Structure 1
Amino acid sequence: MRVERSLEESAGRFAAKTAIVAGTERMTYGELQARSQQLATVLFERGLRRGDRVLVFMDNCAEAAVSIFGILKAGGVFSVINSSTKASKLAYIVTDCEPAAILTIGRLLPVVRSVLAEAATSRASFVLSTGLDAEAASDEVGAFEVGPSAPSDRVEHDGSEDDLAMLVYTSGSTGRPKGVMMTHRNIEAASGSIISYLENTSDDVIFNVLPLAFDYGLYQLLMSVRLGATLLLEKSFAFPAAMFDVMRREKITGLPLVPTMAAVLLQMRDIAPGFLPTLRYITNTAAALPVEHIERLRRLFPDASLYSMYGLTECKRCTYLPPFELDRRPDSVGIAIPGTHAFVVDRDGHIVPPNVTGELVIQGPHVMQGYWRDQAATARALRTGPISHLPALHTGDLFRRDEDGFLYFVARRDDIIKTRGEKVSPKEVEAVLHAHPAVVEAVVMGIPDAVVGQAVSAMVVSRDAALTANELIRHCQLNLEEFMVPKYLTFAESLPKTDTGKVSRKLAGELLESAR
């Protein structure tokens, strides 16, 4: 089934039910269906056709939900871009996927205009933006305005469930974002599997502060609409006390977390067990929760089930730990999600015995189609697996399994840093550091951090003795998304190197960690 059909079915069953709560805005399923259908018509009339890409460059807001389903209804492929993305990275994405359109909000329109002003990256044929007055409109930039209830006919595009539905751009080991290709069938398989083990129903009310550009946050929307549940969309967890008021008022049942959020929550002193009486379950992914945090969360929410999970953008979710196993193996990421398979293999692709470290391989209908226009990276990731007839994702991550088949994360083969629920490519940060005129050499790595999982850290060789760490961090803030800016930065006369003369990220990390 195509993803947009889930909205049509939920709107047919729950037309008057609240689908989205975003700040002060409340949108019913009937309104979400009507608005997204209107948007599909607008997109089609402006020339969007089956398979065309559309960027959704927005905060967590009701318009983002309308955009995603409107694009799908028009037969397009959506790609949600984090609202903190800088112009240089947005320009790369625009050049890479050649979108037919960009949907954005008023405060981000200047960024879009600056990108499209460069001839080399001017690929989008039109832009729709909220908050656009008549004087600012043009043939290329129009108003993102759709009414709450005006009827609109379905756009006919002959699409199938094997069409691409979305591109999720994720940092890669080369430092360039890669577009993970997911079909409607992939999305339906992943969301159906997760829904089954979380035991979600249409009665669920799910709180989501995770960016829709992050697949963990995006699937909260996709699963909620599939179920006919209610989704609370928030933009930030900066004021948790205010968020708790919203959670209590709306009687939330589901709370997706990343470790950073858990750390903030557990540091608060004015909350007590039972303060969210309707909460049924908590999920965590992006990075492992410390065992101590797991224990404290369980004490704080004694009536809620806690699901430790592990996932990759390339297949959405890999594993989950059934909550009743937490006491026996709190450091495990569990077993393969329903309908899929997870193996630990050696370099020759053979399954290794229990407690032997190897590479995690995931097989199932949720595995991506590959990386957009990157055949080499696709060939490295999608290779033959233990089950010959199923797609196999070679994750590059090192795991072991115990005698009962439960999986444990060991390490990453590549250098990607996971911080605050986001992936950071060291090479991307290094490129920005090297762009500073005083920087001679720089190496970036992640070092363990109790709050963010891994702290982005840098060691720099400078040609200017007057250059300060604060100055260099400000340079990064101007050119990188917030979560990519180094938390720790130190200067050195030279960078540590291996015997072959290569800069050693491992040695640099050890030096930085010991100096903290």
Structure 2
Amino acid sequence: MPDLPTFPPDHLALFGQPDAPALAVRDKVYSFKELNLRIGRLAAWLATRGLSAGDRVATWLGKSEVACLMPLASVRAGLVHVPVNPLLKAAQVAHIIADSGAQLLVTNAARAATLDATSLPVSLSQFLADERAVQAILDDAASPILPPLPEDTDPDTLAAILYTSGSTGRPKGVVLSHANLALGADSVAQYLKLSSDDITLAVLPLSFDYGQNQLLSTWRAGGCVVPLDYLTARDVIKACAKHSITTLAAVPPLWVQLVEQDWPTDATRNMRRLTNSGGALTPSLVKMLRSIFGHKTDIFAMYGLTEAFRSTFLDPALIDDKPTSMGHAIPYAEIMVVTPEGIEAGPDQAGELVHAGPLVAKGYWQDNARTAERFKPAPAFSTYGGMAVWSGDTVRRDRDGLLYFVGRDDAMIKTSGNRVSPTEIEEAAVESGLVAEACALGRKDDRLGAVIVLFVRGDGNDDGLKVHLKATLPNFMQPAEVVWLDTFPKNANGKLDRTVLVQTI
């Protein structure tokens, strides 16, 4: 079992040099010294709101300074932060507020106007805080400053509740401690080899574990973060050029948009690393990224669970030869492949991915039933032991120790007596060169159990795609229907929304 790093009492303190740039937002650049002062002001304001230790404070904002500082300020004030994705609508926000029991919501006037006062826990005047007023407190040098947490602060104290995108049913809140966030930041800073001169463009939602970690891991390394609310892929490219970005994180649908654009040299010149999670990179997408950034830029393929923050990464030196691999465990994570009999799977034997160690979350917020389904004791052969996350994802480990995704139990398509991974069909479609995005689903069929429906976005060459699929996939994996779309539905985290497509078949 590896030794864990030690942290200051507040566990999420900033590590950068006082005068080094830490945050570039709205054409202002704040040093680590300034950021610490502003976090203290925000924490002091939270302490005046009549909240008790452990109360939840929600933010429903774009990537403003307030949104970036709240994860750290709420910890310092002894509260639990609930970031709400800015793309969500009022009904979804109301569910998260009600489920989390948030006693304060920081948002802007336009968003507040969409809320139904009857769905809120207290009166609007008590519950809502306007972002502009909070920003004014940050900018007021005379505002009180709350000091860091005391020495005896328990690292298992709750720090945040992150709501999943809700691909099935209503979103559920994943409960994270100070240690979960601090160790997650340290782990990522280690394996990405982030340094104090790195500049990260934060394009992913801060309500997303992957998005929030853009901030925390960069600050852990002493680097600078540039938050960006973008409208088009071109906005991302322009920001990379303007800020000399060294680190860019995205999910596959965004990478697909980005590789379809022209990248000027000043947008790629300083790029050290690209990181991907939320779905697998296809071999063809890796090749397109290589054609833009060359071999001077490392490409990190990653796999993660909100319930355990992040699980694996692939050494970028292997991405060209093994682009479909999930790699191996990140620091502080123990990743096991477990058979239905509860034993460790052998080489190339499929099993469930189980994640143990200190990155495992504390469960689902006030949902003992769903917590018991996903959070269970680690297998007997585990090194860490304790509570583990049983992912529901089927993977295999090759003889070199590298992991490969096989499929998710609830997404597997059973047709003609075969269990088919939709991922394999989707990758084959994209590899045809005729398709930019693909999603395979099962439609109930009395004769076969299910037939495969393949949704694709591309140039409409139906005959060419079918010829390619017949040449690369066995008969039982052939789609019964191919549906061409102009755009794919995306959920609030920018991932392909399978739930919407399921409703059309």
Contact persistence 1:52–1:100 (CA under 8 A): yes
Counterpart of 2:325 in 1: which secondary structure?
coil
Q: Report whether the alignment pairs 1:408 with 2:411.
A: no
What's the counterpart of residue 241 of structure 1?
234
1:62-120 deviation per Cα after TM superposition (whole angstroms, max 9, x unaligned) = 12112222211101110110112111111111111111211112321213xx3443367
Residue type of the partner of 1:38? R
Amino acid at match of 1:84: L
Deviation at 1:411, TM superposition (A): 1.1
Kindly report which structure 2 residues correspond to 1:124-273, keeping only aligned pairs within 5 A, or say none: 125-131=126-132, 145-147=137-139, 149-150=141-142, 152-154=145-147, 159-172=153-166, 175-236=169-230, 238-268=231-261, 270-271=262-263
Amino acid at match of 1:391: M
| Mapped partners of 1:52, 1:391: distance in 2 | 25
Residues 155 and 23 (structure 1), Cα distance of their counterparts in 2 relative to 1, 3 Å cut: closer
* Letter of the 2:130 counterpart: S
Shift of the 341–122 alpha-carbon distance from structure 1 to 2, 3 Å rule, reads: farther
Task: Tell me the secondary structure at the aligned position of residue 83 of structure 1.
Answer: coil
Shift of 1:173: 6.5
Aligned length: 430
Aligned in 2, Cα 1:18/1:487: closer, same or farther, shift over 3 Å?
Answer: same
CA contact (8 A) 1:94 1:124 kept: no
For residue 110 of structure 1, what is the aligned residue in structure 2?
A: 113
**Aligned with 2:394 (options 395, 398, 421):** 398
Aligned to 1:61: 64
Shift of 1:187: 1.3
The question of whether the paired residues in 2 share the 8 Å contact of 1:2 and 1:184 is answered with no
- Give the drift of 1:400: 1.2
1:350 partnered with 2:343: yes
Partner deviation per Cα, 1:332-352 (whole Å, 9 max, x = no partner): 011111232111112232112
Alignment of 1:351-366 (within 5 A): 351-366=344-359
Match of 2:328 in 1: 335
Comparing 28-37 with 121-130, greater Cα deviation is found at 121-130
Is it true that 1:52 corresponds to 2:46 in the alignment? no
Gapped regions of structure 2 (runs ≥ 5): 1-6, 413-421, 427-440, 442-451, 459-486
Could you tell me how far 1:354 is from its partner in structure 2?
Answer: 1.7
- Aligned counterparts, 1:308-457, within 5 A: 308-386=301-379, 387=382, 389-415=385-411, 449=456
Q: Confirm whether residue 70 of structure 1 aligns to residue 77 of structure 2.
A: no
More off after superposition, 123-132 vs 157-166: 123-132
For residue 146 of structure 1, report the CA deviation from its aligned partner: 2.5
Aligned residue for 2:418? none
Post-superposition shift, 1:209? 0.8
Distance 2:125 2:370 in 1: 26
Distance in 1 between residues matched to 2:145 and 2:499, nearest whole Å: 53
Query: Normalising by the residue count of structure 2, what TM-score does the alignment of the two structures yield?
Result: 0.77
Q: Does the 8 Å contact 2:23/2:224 carry over to 1?
A: yes
Output the CA distance in 1 between the equivalents of 2:331 and 2:74: 29
The CA deviation at 1:483 is 5.9
Counterpart amino acid of residue 129 in structure 2: L
Which sections of structure 1, spanning at least 5 residues, go unmatched?
A: 133-141, 420-425, 427-444, 452-472, 491-504
Equivalent-residue separation in structure 2 for 1:34 and 1:52 (angstroms): 23
1:375–1:489 Cα change, 3 Å: closer
CA offsets 1:353-395 (integer angstroms, 9 cap, x no match): 2222211101111011100001111111111223162431100
**Among 25, 28, 31, which residue is 2:28 paired with?**
25
Does structure 2 retain, via aligned residues, the 8 Å contact 1:207–1:232? yes
What amino acid maps onto 2:398 in structure 1?
Answer: D
Q: What per-residue deviation string (whole Å, max 9, x for no partner) do you get for residues 240-270 of structure 1?
A: 33433332232211111211221112112x3
Q: Which residue of 2 aligns with 1:86?
A: 89
Q: CA deviation at 1:399?
A: 0.9
> Identity of counterpart residues, as a percentage?
31
Task: Say if 2:10 and 2:148, in contact at 8 Å, map to a contact too.
Answer: no
Q: Work out whether residues 94 and 123 of structure 1, in 8 Å CA contact, stay in contact via their aligned partners in 2.
A: no
